[in-house]
Amino acid sequence: MDKVKFLTIPSMLLLEVSIRIVDFSALLPGIPQNFNSLLEKFMVGILLSIWMKTMIIMELHIDPILNALA
């Protein structure tokens, strides 16, 4: 289970950073609102791809262990 913690902490940090970037971009004058939604979609896309890769890595590492224990 240490691998699960090890892999989820970076994705949580990235989520926090992306939320702060989106909040910050909303405060800046002169940036159109559609830029904010584009930035949100971009960040969500990055997070989803990292999450999917994390799930694949976790399955590769955890499945043999679970099969050995069963």
Q: 22 CB contacts (<8 Å, ≥6 apart)?
A: 36, 39, 40, 43
Amino acid 51: pLDDT: 74
Residues of the chain with pLDDT under 70: 1-13, 15, 18-36, 56-66, 69-70
Amino acid 40: pLDDT: 74
Domain ranges of the chain: 2-69
pTM above 0.75, yes or no: no
Amino acid 45: pLDDT: 77
Beta carbons of 33 and 69 less than 8 angstroms apart? no
